[in-house]
């Protein structure tokens, strides 16, 4: 795992100062503490920071092809590199190293842009072809590895693994994009369709960008997509056998490393599945780690210990105090852009624990998105059935009126919190799902915005992007479209961003075997009854794992990492919550200070739960302060 950066002059090639590339890479030193390198040629500069995982001494970067005609910087891992190497050797390629980086170079020289379709892995890389004077930038199918881009005032295009790499370039303008703030306030993260600074973009997941000197830059092109339009045929037993085979293959392929390797273990279905299959494939005890909390309601370590004991894992755990809020400034520094998923804090802590013992850790991320494991997906599936039998002329006025009248009972048991469901049923499936995913709803956001900021949005509303994505999704049902949106929008922007930044902050490589593209493709073809059965998601996955895991692991309520931000903002962070209305965020002119103050006081007094919105505003304030924006 590594950090990459570079500068490319397309239309008018100019010399590239290697010191600029070096500074960009130095900003990414946490991603690659084991080595660094910079290479420049006319109109191009490539830089690299290395975290050694495979071929520890033999694959320095930037790496040149044996004939010197191509140069690469690469962040990620290619799991099928040995098979590709054999195929390329039969075709005449020669190799000087035993790692995966040189395989990508040879694949580029053999197949050009089509090389990405043959790569099984997580990656963001740049290849410069010296004969064609082309720069090829590519990102993996799901966006596990990030790549930020910026077109600068001198005509160059700069790229880096994190925004802080671009911030090291003196020509990057630090002006906020209002659309990014609107998107962040809706979702709690800045999705890949936006970047916090105007002029900065993110190469989307499953896309490449081919640039050529002497030509105007075009736009990135999609090279991969998920297809939910087909359905697998066969009995439940047959589908279960196929699923277990794919799970085994995906886990085993990600256990290749020349450094210590382990796994995160929460005690939930997905991480327990990964540990079970790792144990099956390994002759040594799997090293696992878990984070617990000093409040029983948030703690799952007993389940993790149960799984570790079942498979003879070498298990470590650490208890984190629920007053761990002092670390939020460090979180803001990790993410650059504002990031309000509070589970980032325990995720960072478990990465720190893992790094004390291993350099690579496998996670269970991706299964909820692929197999319909989220409650919101199950609810949406049933809501879509209701929409299909109730005519819109009846449904919209009836449920709309009920939803508007129903009290917003944040304090009540989940079955009594019907307001969101009623409002969702009054809308289309896409509108309802977007409403369910939103952290702060449109009317609530608008009440916080100043008039001038609202006008700068020029009618843009964050939910419209998700709605459009769902409507154009290659799927046959509402459940298909919801899962597609989660895989293509939510997952790269939230889940994968969280894991990448928190793991890279401690120089740990995290791998996601449940995001193997063949496994996800199979999950997308499963009949809906094999994904959702009654009120349960991940039906076939859980049934298939009954041979490995006890029922109280498979069928207990989903919990996940929980951080007590509501309590923090009423207690030790109450002063910080009040301070948002008069602090740095208030000075931007983007928000109404009185509205923020009223929100904070209502939450602190216990009249309402505004913790998620206040947390968003607090993390936004810290991010903008670090970015040193100038308008």
Q: Cα–Cα distance between 364 and 368 in angstroms, integer?
A: 9
The first and second tokens of residue 171, run together, are: 């020509």
CB contact at 8 A, 58 and 100: no
User: Strand pairing of 156-160 and 287-293?
Assistant: unpaired
Q: How far apart are CA 532 and CA 524, in angstroms?
A: 12
> Cα separation of 112 and 212, whole Å?
13
List the structure tokens of 261: 């390797």
The residue annotated as part of the active site, out of 2, 273, 289, 351, is: 2
Q: How do 134-139 and 148-151 pair as beta strands?
A: unpaired
Supply the DSSP string of 194-255, one letter for each residue. --SBTTEEEPPTTEEEEEETTS-----EE-----BS----S-HHHHHHHHHHHHHHHHHHTT
Tokens 């490319």 label which residue?
8
Name the residue among 249, 294, 241, 229 with its Cα closest to residue 527: 229
Rounded CA gap, 442 and 182, in Å? 9
153 alpha-carbon distance from chain centroid = 30
Binding residues for L-glutamine: 100
> CB under 8 Å to 290, separation ≥6 — which residues?
264, 265, 266, 267, 300, 301, 304, 305, 308, 315, 316, 317, 318, 350
Q: Per the annotation, where are the binding residues?
A: 100, 291, 363-364
Pair 464, 612: CB distance under 8 Å: no
Strand, coil or helix: 48:
strand
Contact partners, residue 104, CB within 8 Å, separation at least 6:
72, 74, 78, 115, 119, 123, 125, 127
C-alpha closest to that of 108 among 140, 75, 86, 134: 134
2 included as an active-site residue = yes
Q: Which residue has the tokens 């809308």?
A: 427
Residue 571 C-beta-side C-alpha neighbours within 13 Å:
9
- 600: exposed, middle or buried (C-beta count within 10 Å: 0-12, 13-18, 19+)? buried
Residue 78 phi, psi dihedral angles, 5° rounding: -105, 115
Task: Tell whether omega for the bond before 62 is within 30 degrees of 0, i.e. cis.
Answer: yes
* Burial of 434 (C-beta count, 10 Å sphere; 0-12/13-18/19+): buried
Distances (CA, A) of 210 to 10, 76, 137, 575: 11, 20, 6, 50
Q: Which parts are annotated binding residues for ATP? A: 291, 363-364
| Per-residue burial over 109-122, b = 16 or more CB atoms within 10 Å of its CB, e = otherwise | bbeebebbebbbbb
The C-alpha atoms of residue 557 and residue 541 are separated, in whole angstroms, by: 15
Give 36's strand partners.
Answer: 49
Q: How far, in Å, CA of 167 to CA of 280, rounded?
A: 45
Which residues form the catalytic set?
A: 2
């Amino acid at each position: 795992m590594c950090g990459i950066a570079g500068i490319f002059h397309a239309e008018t090639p100019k010399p590239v100062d290697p010191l600029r590339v070096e500074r960009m890479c130095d900003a990414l030193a946490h991603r690659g503490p084991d080595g660094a390198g910079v290479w420049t040629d006319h109109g191009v500069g490539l830089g690299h920071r290395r975290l050694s995982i495979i071929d520890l001494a033999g694959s320095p970067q930037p790496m040149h092809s044996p004939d010197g005609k191509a140069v690469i910087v690469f962040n990620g891992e290619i799991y099928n590199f040995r098979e590709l190497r054999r195929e390329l050797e039969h075709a005449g390629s020669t190799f000087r190293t035993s790692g995966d980086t040189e395989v990508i170079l040879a694949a580029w020289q053999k197949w050009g842009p089509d090389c990405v379709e043959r790569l099984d892995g997580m990656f963001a890389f740049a290849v410069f072809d010296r004969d064609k004077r082309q720069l090829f930038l590519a990102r993996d199918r799901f966006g596990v590895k990030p790549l930020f881009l910026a077109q600068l005032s001198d005509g160059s295009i700069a790229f880096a693994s994190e925004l802080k790499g671009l911030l090291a370039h003196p020509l990057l303008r630090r002006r906020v994009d209002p659309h990014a703030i609107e998107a962040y306030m809706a979702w709690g993260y800045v999705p890949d369709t936006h970047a916090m600074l105007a002029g900065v973009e993110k190469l989307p997941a499953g896309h490449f960008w081919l640039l050529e000197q002497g030509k105007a830059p075009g736009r990135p092109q999609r090279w991969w997509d998920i297809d939910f339009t087909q359905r697998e045929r066969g009995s439940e037993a047959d589908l279960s056998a196929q699923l277990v085979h794919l799970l085994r293959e995906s886990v085993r392929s990600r256990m290749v490393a020349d450094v210590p390797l382990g796994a995160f273990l929460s005690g939930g279905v997905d991480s327990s599945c990964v540990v079970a299959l790792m144990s099956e494939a390994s002759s040594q005890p799997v090293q696992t780690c878990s984070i617990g909390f000093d409040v029983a309601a948030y703690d799952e370590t007993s389940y993790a210990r149960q799984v570790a004991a079942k498979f003879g894992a070498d298990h470590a755990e650490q208890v984190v105090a629920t007053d761990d809020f002092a670390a939020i400034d460090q979180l803001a520094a990790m993410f650059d852009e504002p990031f309000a998923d509070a589970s980032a804090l325990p995720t960072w802590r478990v990465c720190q624990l893992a790094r004390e013992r291993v350099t690579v850790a496998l996670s269970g991320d991706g299964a909820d998105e692929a197999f319909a494991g989220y409650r919101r997906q199950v609810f949406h599936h049933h809501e879509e059935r209701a929409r299909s039998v109730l005519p819109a002329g009846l449904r919209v006025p009836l449920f709309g009126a009920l939803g508007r009248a129903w009290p917003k009972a944040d304090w009540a048991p989940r079955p009594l919190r019907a307001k969101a469901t009623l409002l969702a049923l009054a809308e289309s499936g896409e509108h309802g799902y977007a409403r369910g995913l939103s952290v702060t709803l449109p009317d609530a956001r608008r009440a916080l915005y100043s008039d001038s900021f609202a006008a700068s949005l020029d009618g843009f509303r964050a939910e419209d992007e998700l709605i459009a994505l769902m409507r154009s999704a290659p799927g046959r049902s509402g459940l298909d479209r919801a899962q597609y949106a989660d895989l293509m929008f939510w997952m790269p922007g939230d889940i994968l961003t969280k894991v990448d930044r928190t793991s890279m902050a401690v120089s740990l490589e995290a791998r996601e075997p449940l995001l193997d593209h063949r496994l996800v493709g199979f999950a997308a073809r499963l009949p809906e009854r094999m994904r959702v059965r009654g009120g349960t998601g991940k039906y076939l996955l859980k049934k298939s794992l009954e041979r490995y895991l006890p029922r109280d692991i498979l069928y207990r309520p989903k919990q996940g990492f929980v951080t007590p931000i509501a309590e923090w903002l009423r207690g030790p962070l109450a002063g910080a919550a009040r301070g948002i209305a008069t602090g740095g965020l208030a000075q931007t002119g983007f928000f109404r200070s009185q509205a923020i103050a009223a929100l904070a006081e209502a939450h602190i007094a216990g009249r309402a739960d505004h913790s998620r919105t206040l947390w968003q505003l607090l993390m936004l304030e810290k991010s903008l302060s670090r970015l040193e924006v100038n308008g």
